[in-house]
Each structure stands twice: as structure tokens, then as C-alpha cells.
Amino acid sequence: MIANEYTAEAEEKRQSEIAYIKDASSKLKILLENTSDKETKKKLERVYDVLSSSPTKSHPNIAEKESRILQSVNELEEAIQSENKETIFSIANSLLQLII
């Protein structure tokens, strides 16, 4: 019984540690699939690749950075909806700097 509780707690902790990568990656993937402009698509692919291959283990020390990444992904979504290419590229570049 104790082993099951430990396993469940460990899995819950692991899931919370990788949640922000999953959330951000899935949003980026949807944006990527719904973008037809070649330049924008290429830039989004770069951000997606870097984010999805980044270390997934979260840590309290980087919680603020993870929050900024998620916020930037949301801002990127808004920029894509408004088709503001300059803003899209600016946010994408900021995201790359945050991730790398």
C-alpha cells in the first residue's frame, strides 16, 4: 500500500514537472498546423523544435521563466490571429531566448 502511494505521488510530481512543456508544445503545434505563411511557419517550427526538445524537468527556481514562456505562447497565438507578422517574429525570437 505504501509503495502504491509513493508511486502515485512520484508520478503526480513527474507530471507536474513536465506540464508546462506539454502545454506550450501542444499550443505551438496547433498554431503551426493552422499557419499557412511559409516564413511564419518556419519560425514557429524553430520555436516548437527548441521547446519540445528542451529539458522537461521543472524546478521551483525556474517557475517564473516557465510562466513567461507560457504567457509568450499565448501572446504568439494572439499575434497569429491578428496576422501581425512583425509581432509574431518578435515574440518568437523572445521565446527562443527564454528557452535557450
Identify the pLDDT of residue 28. 94
Name 25's Cβ contacts closer than 8 Å, sequence gap at least 6.
48, 51, 52
- Would you give the distance in Å from CA 73 to the centre of its chain? 6
* Higher per-residue pLDDT: 10 or 70: 70
Q: Give 13's pLDDT tier (boundaries 50, 70, 90).
A: low
pTM across the whole model: 0.78
Per residue in 17-66, pLDDT tens?
667 788 889 999 999 999 999 999 999 999 999 998 887 666 677 778 88
Identify the pLDDT of residue 26. 92
R_g (Cα) of the chain, nearest Å: 16
